[in-house]
Structure 1
């Protein structure tokens, strides 16, 4: 049976029962973890992130109800669906199980098909719950951006334009130029925000197709470096690209380009004047690891895990008060993973950051040519 990737923890003090349930679930393609006591069950859940727990009610030391109560109190384990395994079928025991937060129960001796059916149902329900939660977080993120990040520059444009219209006859040439430049800066900010929002919206609705091709990595990086060179020159930041001319990767150009552009833009944003940005590649067996390292302000350890989370709403201003939506790195993670890679951060607050990601190497098919 092909593995389905779902992880199930079986908790029962009877070794015979664990053996039977393990065989049934392994044959059905589940990854199995086991514990023969309530205490061991708590330790196992801390050690391994499981998707569902089959929990025996009657056990020494900690019974199933107590184990369930402890898991529900912990924010990291409270949402794991728990199905009680019980020899009891009296209404009091069943009501108590549901009151304690269990999603279902199976009475012993159980029917194999019934057990598999209940497990499958609750795993699907949990997946649906997670998707709904993520959908709500996405919606909240949109409202946050529209309500705050877009409102501010649009309000500034309106105020500046109104001031210009009302006082055009009293303003001299330099004042008019100043107003016009401020309107232009805020207009650029709105355009950048809208571009990010629309790109992210297309990702969420699966409207961006994954079209991998053979790409020369140095050429892709150089496009972003050239595009952002003016931003770097304004802060007198030097950008150094140490990538050989012949490095080829197999990836979607638009996605790879977006990732590199965002990482370089962020590096410029968080680097002080006269700083340095180094872009390198490390060749691994099946992939290339691309790194963008800066001499900027760095990231506090407690903030690192917030960078890619849609629920964190975490944004910071750059060294010259540059603003952002917090969408850039979320998009980077999405695009890197769609290309079969991973993204990493190495940073020390006050000593710069290094953002790295992997992308598949282009491999020549021996049957070609």
Structure 2
């Protein structure tokens, strides 16, 4: 939804620029907008890559720690060099490492899930607007309680036949 509003605002700003420029050089104006969008996209991709690099580094460290501790336990148990207390300390380290890894993955999945929800909602709203005739309506209803949110997007557009829905063209 936010993406759609940003599109409308950017088109409006382009329109204002064209009117102010007296439509002297619209190709250059659109080209500069395209270049700005490409720069923004590159910056977003670089940020995404940095985030994934940090996550990969954190995951590798956690797994390396667990592997190192279990290797130590294996070699000590084969030589019978480990006391019960040392064994408990190493098990506690493994447990701590596993919890850290789990928390990192959980945070990553929450972020991915919220991005997927945003993408689905944006696509639904974009399609509702795109396929609604001029003068039609698009209605968004949101209800929420402490544990559940319901978002409904309804439009007066052309809709889909029951055959299209059965075929999975959602």
TM-score scaled by structure 2?
Answer: 0.55
Distance 2:15 2:33 in 1: 14
> Whose strand fraction is larger, Structure 1's or Structure 2's?
1
How many residues are paired up? 125
Q: CA deviation at 1:164?
A: 0.8
Alignment match of 2:102 (pick from 183, 191, 200): 191
Distance 1:175 1:132 in 2: 50
Structure 1 residues 170, 140: CA separation in 2 closer, same or farther (over 3 Å shift)? same
Alignment match of 1:116 (pick from 23, 26, 30): 26
Q: Which moved more, 1:168-177 or 1:138-147?
A: 168-177
The question of whether the paired residues in 1 share the 8 Å contact of 2:66 and 2:94 is answered with: yes
The question of whether the paired residues in 2 share the 8 Å contact of 1:6 and 1:30 is answered with: no
Instruction: Tell me the equivalent position of 1:132.
Output: 42
Alignment match of 2:9 (pick from 1, 5, 9): 5
Alignment match of 1:166 (pick from 75, 94, 97): 75
The question of whether the paired residues in 1 share the 8 Å contact of 2:18 and 2:26 is answered with: no
Please provide the CA RMSD for this pair. Answer: 3.9
> Whose helix fraction is larger, Structure 1's or Structure 2's?
2
Q: CA deviation at 1:26?
A: 7.7
Structure 1 residues 206, 124: CA separation in 2 closer, same or farther (over 3 Å shift)? farther
Q: CA deviation at 1:187?
A: 1.0
3-state DSSP of counterpart to 1:171:
coil
1:1-369 → structure 2 map (5 Å cutoff) = 4-6=8-10, 28-30=15-17, 112=23, 114-147=24-57, 149-168=58-77, 169-201=80-112, 209-210=120-121, 214-217=143-146, 220=147
What runs of 5+ residues in structure 2 fail to find an aligned partner?
Answer: 1-6, 125-140, 152-170
Distance 2:81 2:69 in 1: 15
Structure 1 residues 118, 203: CA separation in 2 closer, same or farther (over 3 Å shift)? farther
Higher relative contact order (CA 8 A, sep 6+): 2
Q: CA deviation at 1:185?
A: 1.2
Structure 1 residues 118, 196: CA separation in 2 closer, same or farther (over 3 Å shift)? same
